Structure 1
Amino acid sequence: MYLLDQKRKDQEVRDARYNYAIASYIANELELDEPIMRFYINQPAVIIGKHQNAFAEVDLNYLEKQHIQLVRRSSGGGSVYHDQGTLIYGFVGKDDHSSYQDFSRFTQPIIQALQRLGVKNAKFSGRNDLLINDKKFSGTSMLVSGGKVVVGGTLLLDADYETLANVLTPSKKKLAAKGIKSVESRVTALRPYLAKEHQEITIEAFRELLIKELFAVDRLEEIKIYTFSDKQWQRIDEIVEEKFGNWDWNFGRSRQLNYQRDHRFSFGTVEFQLAIDRGKICECQIFGDFFASGNLEEIETALLGVSLKKDDLLTVFRSFDLTRYFGEVTAEELVEVILSEM
């Protein structure tokens, strides 16, 4: 397995737009004979899931005042805040057709490494979280595309609870479903749980220790390193311009329509934003923090012109394999959400 060199012209890349462009390039364009792993740190940034509504998930005024980036990733899941106290990891390997949504398969080595560093109570829980004493210190996202499985996760060494509470605005239903009152009450930093000899560690040194544990080496020089060429960096520049640094990708799909319904399922929240004209759907957007491999625009397009009637809506939803687009849900359950009372 390779470890990616995170430097460009001897400067470590910490721009979130570039780090997600790197992930996209590795997943979609780079062909390697072995899996590749990377560990990186972002400057302050909010990362939202592919299907989320930016205006509903984040306090955009606060982001602008604090000069915090917002970047939409290519995979599903919820919103996270990254800063200099967050270590992010990514893994890309061949899809063996048994990996999709099997988060524990990829997070278990992380947990084992953390336990060896003194974090004895670290465990995998729920859909995609890593916890200590029921508080989250890591979330994981996954995407399967082009014969590859792409896994990404965060490790919170230090937490800026004030900024975290101000920047993220999750729905009350989502928090209620988890039995919690706020974002701050459900997260924790790793530092207090590290062994005594690691308590004053910098995030760069923490990264090095974790890499050594995961690769089972004593020195970083023992690991196979992958370095991008100038030509590859030019392609990454293009991906930033086309996608992760592009307003239309990060914000353009998100807006508030006049008919909104949402529901929290076991696989995540599903939100329908509709514009209704004379009883028919004339605009449709679907949001959520679920993980889906299907293109939601196919369902959104199919719903255009459909009357807001149970039978008509059922006909549309029954024409799709809904597990590919949402998770384990039936057409009846989705229609019930759309037709529910506010």
Structure 2
Amino acid sequence: MYLVDSRSSNPAINVSVESFLLSNEVVDDTIVFFYQMEPSIGIGRFQNAYEEVNYPYVKEQGIPVIRRASGGGAMFSDPGQIAFCFITKDEGDTFGNFKEFTRPILDALHKMGATDAQLSGRNDLTIDGKKFSGNAMSVKDGRMFAHGTLMIDLDTDQLTKALNPSKEKLRSKGVKSVRSRVTNLRPYFSEQYQNATVEEIKNTILLYVFGVDSLDEIKRYELTEEDWGKINAFKAAVPDNPEWNYGKNPSFDLERQRKFDAGLVQVKFNVAHDKISAIRIFGDFFGKGSIEDVEQVLIDVPYNEEAIQNALESLDIPYYFGKIKIEELAQLIAF
């Protein structure tokens, strides 16, 4: 494995570095990318930013909202949190295997005293039934990354104010609020880490992940000036683009949503002359394909379950949504 160091706590830069490493095989080995971020919100590739984020609050506070290339849900970050990313080849059966990529992180946390930390549900790391890490994945041209976060000293008050998760999602977790569902890790660490800085905790986790005694023993890949040219070009075109981060939010007459095992799916659409005339699909599911493909095949389809299911038969639905059946999606839309 090789470590890539981040030069910045700017979320747009770090998202761009991840995308660069996904698209460019700079070494023939797994890359580990750790970083911290200034206050910001990361939203999943398929989410509706206007519904996931408390927009008046984040605008007032100057908190940037950055859309990821990966699926999953919205997350608040600040310097009290550590972000980690593993970039590797896609072996064909690794996408969605959160157990494989969170194992080294959990092993490190166990050695640091947080012995009850575990992978829970689809993609969360929890301790005492509370979440301290959300994880997501993205795949492109035979390569993939798996990334996540670790709450060490995160400002949970600001997290609660900045995010606006759906009531459906909270109900599925059996909680009434974001605050009651999350926790920081520091109280669970052994005594020797109680006064460690977040940077020191990050470095300790790196030592355990790489299985070395000194940071000097870790193999590193130094991003070149040419690499940074590509990273900055991507940053200007994508995460710095408000249209990418927020997207368009047209009005729709009809809305359906359901929490599947694969994630929340929300469908907004219009029907004219008994046919679907416009449709947008949002959610925190993990899909590999562009959701616009699904939206496109549903335009002008008669608004009934059979016709919708027949239209969806032309697509590999798990490729776009994960483990959701065609008939389940058709039933949701035609409810």
Q: Same fold (TM over 0.5)?
A: yes
Kindly indicate whether the alpha-carbon contact (under 8 Å) linking 2:169 and 2:259 is maintained by their aligned counterparts in 1: yes
Structure 1 counterpart of 2:5: 5
CA contact (8 A) 1:119 1:195 kept: yes
Residues 55 and 255 in structure 1, CA contact (< 8 A), matched pair in contact too: no
- Structure 1 pair 96–330 and aligned structure 2 pair: CA distance change class (3 A): closer
CA contact (8 A) 2:79 2:154 kept: no
Are 1:282 and 2:277 an aligned pair? yes
**Per-residue deviation, residues 103-160 of structure 1 (Å, max 9, x unmatched):** 0011011111011111111111110111101100111111222111211010000131
Report Cα offsets for 1:277-321 as digits up to 9, x if no partner.
233222111001000112211110111112212222121112222
Question: What does residue 103 of structure 2 align with?
Answer: 108
Question: Which of 133, 142, 153 is the matching residue for 2:137?
Answer: 142
Deviation at 1:32, TM superposition (A): 1.4
Please, which of 187, 201, 219 is the counterpart of residue 192 of structure 1?
A: 187
- Mapped partners of 1:321, 1:225: distance in 2: 39
Number of aligned pairs?
A: 335
Indicate the SS of the match to 1:264.
Answer: strand
Q: Which residue of 1 aligns with 2:67?
A: 72
Letter of the aligned partner of 1:18 in structure 2? I
Write the letter of the residue equivalent to 2:165: P
Deviation at 1:226, TM superposition (A): 1.2
Give a deviation string over 1:19-39, Cα, whole Å, max 9, x none. 000000000124312111011
Other-structure match for 1:310: 305
Deviation at 1:87, TM superposition (A): 0.1
User: Partners in 2 of 1:247 and 1:214 — Cα distance?
Assistant: 36
How far off is 1:228 after superposition?
1.2
For 1:255 and 1:90, the matched residues in 2 are separated by 34
Consecutive unaligned residues in structure 2, runs of 5 or more: none
Match of 1:10 in 2: none
Going from structure 1 to structure 2, the CA distance change for 1:19 and 1:256 (only over 3 Å counts) comes to farther
Aligned ranges 1:124-139 → 2 under 5 Å: 124-139=119-134
Distance 1:78 1:148, change over 3 A: same
| Aligned 1:107-186 pairs, distance under 5 A | 107-186=102-181
Distance in 2 between residues matched to 1:36 and 1:329, nearest whole Å: 31
1:260 paired residue number: 255
Equivalent pair of 1:53/1:255 in contact (CA under 8 Å): no
Identity of aligned residues (%): 37
Runs of 4 or more consecutive aligned structure 1 residues displaced over 3 Å after TM superposition: 253-256
Match for 2:16: what amino acid? A
Shift of 1:254: 4.1
| 1:261-292 residue CA offsets vs partner (Å, 9 max, x unmatched) | 11111111111111222332221110010001
Give the CA deviation at 1:256.
Answer: 4.0
The letter of the residue matching 1:113 is A
Equivalent position amino acid for 2:69 in 1: S
**Which residue of 1, 18, 27 maps to 1:32?**
27
Q: Describe the shift of the 1:175–1:226 C-alpha distance in structure 2 as closer, same or farther (beyond 3 A).
A: same
Deviations 1:28-73 (A, max 9, x none): 1243121110110011111000000001111111111111110000
Q: 1:54 aligns with which of 46, 49, 66?
A: 49
CA distance in 1 between partners of 2:264 and 2:231 (Å): 32
Rounded Cα–Cα distance in structure 1 between residues aligned with 2:91 and 2:216: 30
How far residue 233 of structure 1 moved from its aligned partner, in angstroms, is 1.0
> How many Å separate the matches in 2 of 1:263 and 1:215?
40
Secondary structure at 1:244's aligned position in 2? coil
Structure 1 counterpart of 2:89, from 80, 94, 105:
94
Shift of residue 93, structure 1, vs aligned partner: 1.0
Residue 236 of structure 2 is matched in structure 1 by 241
1:224 to 219, 225, 248: 219
| Aligned-partner residue type, residue 101 of structure 1 | G
| Cα distance in 2 for residues equivalent to 1:160 and 1:227 | 32
Residue range with higher mean Cα deviation, 322-331 or 286-295? 322-331
State the TM-score, normalizing by the size of structure 1: 0.95
